[in-house]
Amino acid sequence: MEIQNTTNQGEATQSDVATNAVVTKKKILIIDDDENLTSVLVDKLNFSGFEADFSNDSTLGLQKAIETKPDAILLDVKMPNMSGWEVLEKLRVDSWGEKAKVIMLTSLDKPESVAHAMEEGSTVFIVKTNYTLDQVVDKIKEVLHV
């Protein structure tokens, strides 16, 4: 209970700051090889007041992340060439990427994937089929404290 209280307070102060400051759109980068999924996610995030960008290739996505420094990254686990875990590993080596907020996206729901996500220091883990778009947006807001 105590832990929940502190996070609630944390959220409150964060959103206070957001309303007091000039509203700048939070930048979200989506790295997922599935073009259909990225396109609907980009639309949803743009409608929900974010500035969404995407990459359908993991290597280019990693480059884009380090160049554009988004506020949060939605990262697909299963991608050709380089998997989401490898992207995350490489990202954590970067000085900025070390603290980047990453939300892992997956189609799998194996418990070990979740454990893996925790170990890798990723903040949230989303199983695509279990989440509605609204819930995805809520999760991003939760991670960004807005």
Whole-angstrom CA distances from 70 to 47, 75, 91 are 18, 12, 12
Shorter beta-carbon distance to another protein: residue 100 or 104? 104
Residue corresponding to tokens 């996610």? 41
Shorter beta-carbon distance to another protein: residue 6 or 36? 36
Enumerate binding residues for another protein (CB under 8 A). 34, 36-37, 40-41, 43-44, 47, 78, 107-112, 115, 128-129, 132-134
Least spacing, CB of residue 17 vs another protein, in Å = 27
> Sign of the CA dihedral 129, 135, 139, 144?
positive
Least spacing, CB of residue 46 vs another protein, in Å = 10
Backbone angles phi, psi at 131, to 5 degrees: -110, 140
CB atoms within 10 A of CB 102: 25
Contact between 27 and 65 (Cβ < 8 Å): no
Least spacing, CB of residue 77 vs another protein, in Å = 9
Least spacing, CB of residue 21 vs another protein, in Å = 26
Shorter beta-carbon distance to another protein: residue 32 or 71? 32
Shorter beta-carbon distance to another protein: residue 19 or 129? 129
